[in-house]
Amino acid sequence: MTLLVACVGGPGPLPDQGPDQGSQGGGITGDTSASEGSGGRTGDSTDDAPPAPPAIITVTNYDTTCSEDSDCVAVYQGVVCQACLCPNAAVNRKDLENYSKDLEKAGTDCSRDDVACGPCETQMAGCDAKTKRCALGVTSADEG
């Protein structure tokens, strides 16, 4: 008896296999919504369903342009369901409200254990003199 097992997949969507095909790569960017419904499956069990990809927030979805340091504010980017969300990127202060709303929305499905985080390292956001983009630890546009 010969048993042949083949694995398919990799980054990107699967070839056309109907409406229930899903995606094989990437995370969610600022959106944790998922479609509902049976998708052609039978039974009530969702144990066979693959876990949803982690919610990710990235500053590329927000305004990062600037003309002076005061335009910029430090924020977190990365997997939203982390225990500690220390600032590691920067956005334009005018887009902070949109960022904050998206971060809160993306984190609603997170099940964070009661993990105590140490204090985050102080990160100063500034306007990069060369690129005119908000960033952390940059040569300040205000100095030039």
Phi and psi for 59 in degrees, rounded to 5?
Answer: -70, -10
pLDDT score of 7 more than 50: no
Strands of the sheet containing 55-57, edge to edge, are 28-29, 55-57, 78-79
Chain centroid to Cα 12, Å, comes to 18
Mean pLDDT over each residue of the chain, to the nearest integer = 74
Q: Tell me how far CA of residue 85 lies from CA of 98, 103, 104, 118, in angstroms.
A: 17, 10, 12, 11
Interval 101-115: pLDDT, tens: 999 999 888 876 777
Determine the average pLDDT of the residues in 134-142: 80
User: Can you give the residue ranges of every domain in the chain?
Assistant: 53-107+122-144
Q: Tell me, what's the pLDDT at 8?
A: 36
What is the average pLDDT across 22-43?
42
pLDDT at residue 127 in the model: 97
pLDDT of residue 142: 65
Residue 33 pLDDT:
45
Least confident of 13-17, 52-56, 62-66: 13-17
Average pLDDT of span 1-19: 37
Encoded tokens for 78: 């990365």
